[in-house]
Amino acid sequence: METQARYLWVGAFTLAVITAGFAFVYWLYTGGGFRDRAVYDIRFDNPVSGLLTGSAVLFNGIRVGEVTELRLSPHQPKQVIATIGVDPATPVRADTSVSMDFQGLTGAPVILLTGGSPAASPVSAADGAAGPMLVAEADSGQSMTQAARTTLKRIDGMLAENSAPLHDVIANFKVFSEALARNSDRIDGVVAGLERMTGGAKGNPKIPTYSLSALTTLPPSTKPPQGQLAVPEPAALMSLSTDKILVAKNGSDGDTIDNAQWSDSIPVLVQAKLIEALENSRYFEAVSRPVDGFEADQQLLTELRTLRMETSPTPNAHVAVSAKLMGNGRVIAARVFEASVPVGALDAVNAVAGLNQAFGEVLQQIVVWTGANRAAAAQPSPDTAR
């Protein structure tokens, strides 16, 4: 029994020493100990929910001290007096504003001091005693919950005071909606009339889109496919780089056929149909646009001279293309291909039919001419032969 009692005394003494150590450290940290402190009293005219002894005191966002004491005013029950100890170097002035804030997810309350003007006189504080009085802002002790509760109370009061006018407004809305429901047919008629008057009753009509026809009939090749051919996009004037169906009237190139357009710009269509026709001819092992990784033996350079409708002397579809077959860094062959087809009228259907026929003739000539000159690229140039 004596041994057990001795252990109890030893354990109790150990716990007492540990508790005293924690208390001593806390005392040093919260304003006691050996640190000099400037002491100020702060008067709050509202409740300070959550503020505790040891709560942080911030000056312009920097921690400079803590709350050392909280007490009620003996003269005004609504007032709370908080004593704070701060670093003596803190520039507390006569016009320093005091408020409370809630930081972090838990909403820990802190006292905020905001510095005043440099010209204001400093507030003196006596160490170890109650300091000068600072007055906190009127709503500084209000938390977010309290502010929300106050706002809701004000809104509820406003609704209570204006319940009769609000009831009249709702009743008027009901009457208005019932009137709209009774006259919905008339309103639809009024809206339709406004659409017709402003031209918005119907959407813009869809413009018919046309494309150049592919070349389907080609003379059979008497030689096996030979080499690879690259076909860049044809060079063309700005007036030809469009998707409009062009019409030349009295030497002017600015007219177009209304309510009709090509499916793409004219140079892009010419390139696509030319590549398709050359692939179908089987004159070359491969035909492609110039792309990275494609090493062509020959290159077909074209220039679109014209692809349009003309009115003089008679309506006709006119197509002209200049072609150069390149190989081994030289021009193998060059030629201008041209075709003109008469048309009955300058409408979209007749214009597209005439241009397709003229383009087909030019396209067939280019393909046959390219195939006939494909072998010349393999022959050495006269300068090389020497």
Which one has a higher pLDDT value, 24 or 356?
A: 356
Does the residue 283 lie in any domain?
A: yes
CA atoms 346, 349, 355, 357: torsion sign: negative
138-170 confidence digits (pLDDT tens): 776 665 566 667 778 888 888 888 888 888 888
% of the chain residues with pLDDT over 90? 22
Residue 119 is predicted with a pLDDT of: 80
Q: How far apart are CA 364 and CA 280, in angstroms?
A: 11
Domain boundary among 123, 141, 159: 141
What is the pLDDT confidence band of residue 129, given thresholds at 50, 70 and 90? very low
Domain boundary among 120, 141, 162: 141
Domain boundary among 81, 110, 141: 141
% of the chain residues with pLDDT over 70? 83
Does the residue 156 lie in any domain?
A: no
Q: Is the pLDDT of residue 376 over 50?
A: yes
Residue 343 is predicted with a pLDDT of: 93
Q: Is the pLDDT of residue 385 over 50?
A: no
- Are 252 and 331 part of one and the same domain? yes
- Are 236 and 367 part of one and the same domain? yes
Q: Are 346 and 247 in contact (CB under 8 A)?
A: yes
What is the arithmetic mean of pLDDT over 71-91? 86
- Are 354 and 217 part of one and the same domain? yes
Does the residue 292 lie in any domain?
A: yes
- Are 214 and 341 part of one and the same domain? yes
What is the arithmetic mean of pLDDT over 323-340? 92
Q: Is the pLDDT of residue 30 over 60?
A: no
Q: Is the pLDDT of residue 128 over 50?
A: no
Does the residue 172 lie in any domain?
A: no
Q: Phi, psi at residue 307, to the nearest 5°?
A: -155, 90
What is the DSSP secondary structure assignment for residue 224, as one 8-state letter?
-
| SS3 call for 156 | helix
- Are 131 and 258 part of one and the same domain? no
Burial class (CB in 10 A: 0-12, 13-18, 19+), 355: buried
- Are 251 and 328 part of one and the same domain? yes
What is the arithmetic mean of pLDDT over 180-193? 78
Residue 4 is predicted with a pLDDT of: 58
Q: How far apart are CA 265 and CA 271, in angstroms?
A: 10
Does the residue 92 lie in any domain?
A: yes
Q: How far apart are CA 222 and CA 200, in angstroms?
A: 62
Residue 141 is predicted with a pLDDT of: 62
Q: How far apart are CA 263 and CA 275, in angstroms?
A: 17
C-alpha closest to that of 377 among 334, 326, 323: 326
What is the pLDDT confidence band of residue 386, given thresholds at 50, 70 and 90? very low
Does the residue 7 lie in any domain?
A: no
281-317 confidence digits (pLDDT tens): 888 888 889 887 777 889 999 999 999 999 888 899 9
What is the pLDDT confidence band of residue 352, given thresholds at 50, 70 and 90? very high
Average pLDDT, the chain: 81
- Are 233 and 350 part of one and the same domain? yes
Helix, strand, coil: what percent of the chain each, to 5?
Answer: 35, 30, 35
What is the arithmetic mean of pLDDT over 344-364? 91
Does the residue 381 lie in any domain?
A: no
| SS3 call for 166 | helix
208-243 confidence digits (pLDDT tens): 899 998 777 777 777 777 788 899 999 999 988 999
Please enumerate in sequence order all residues whose Cβ is within 8 A of that of 342, keeping only pairs 6 or more positions apart, or say none.
314, 315, 316, 317, 354
CA atoms 27, 29, 31, 35: torsion sign: positive
- Are 132 and 229 part of one and the same domain? no
Please enumerate in sequence order all residues whose Cβ is within 8 A of that of 249, keeping only pairs 6 or more positions apart, or say none.
255, 311, 312
Q: How far apart are CA 1 and CA 7, in angstroms?
A: 10
- Are 85 and 218 part of one and the same domain? no
Domain span including residue 74 = 38-141
Q: Is the pLDDT of residue 207 over 80?
A: yes
- Are 223 and 367 part of one and the same domain? yes
Which residues face 249 on adjacent strands?
252
What is the arithmetic mean of pLDDT over 26-54? 75
How many structural domains are present in the chain? 2
User: pTM value?
Assistant: 0.47
Which one has a higher pLDDT value, 104 or 67?
A: 67
Does the residue 190 lie in any domain?
A: no
Q: Tell me, what CATH number does 336's domain have?
A: 3.40.50.10610
- Are 239 and 331 part of one and the same domain? yes
- Are 131 and 215 part of one and the same domain? no
Q: How far apart are CA 105 and CA 376, in angstroms?
A: 84
